[in-house]
Amino acid sequence: MNIVLRKKISILIHLAGVDGEFANIEKSFIKEICERNGVSNLEFEQLVANPDPIASLGALSYNRVVEYMSESLSLMIIDGKIRQSEVLLCEDIGLRLGFQKNAIDQIIEKLKGNVDLPLSSIIKIVEAMPNPAKS
């Protein structure tokens, strides 16, 4: 598994567990991403048991920035509940990815009213957000 994918999976694992409950639907979401990228079950389980710390996210391409943010937001709403601890971590991730706090807060407010929004729609919303990596 390459470092960019490992970093993203670790972030998602932290986000899934930040509320103290790693729901099966959250685990399935992350596992599906791993399977699409050729990550073995053993690698996945090892990373779940010991995710890397969330480090700098400044060296990512714009497409990766959108991917990280969109998948983080999707994971936050996947169980139909948005907890404050998840919101705070999504805000932190978004800031590390170069998004403005008010833009992150606006998208989170939109998601609170629509927790059934599919990933494809979240990607479009994130792509519309201002981000320095875009230019």
Burial class (CB in 10 A: 0-12, 13-18, 19+), 1: middle
The closest of 100, 101, 16, 93 to 60, measured between CA atoms, is 93
What value does the mean pLDDT take over residues 106-110?
91
What value does the mean pLDDT take over residues 81-102?
93
Between 115 and 59, the more confident residue is 115
The span from the CA of 7 to the CA of 78, in Å, is: 20
Domain ranges of the chain: 3-134
Contact call for residues 132 and 100 (beta carbons, < 8 A):
no
In this predicted structure, the answer to whether residue 135 has a pLDDT above a threshold of 70 is no
Query: How does pLDDT run across 34-77, given as a tens digit for each residue?
Result: 999 999 999 999 999 999 998 888 788 899 999 999 999 999 99
Which amino acid does the sequence have at 65?
V
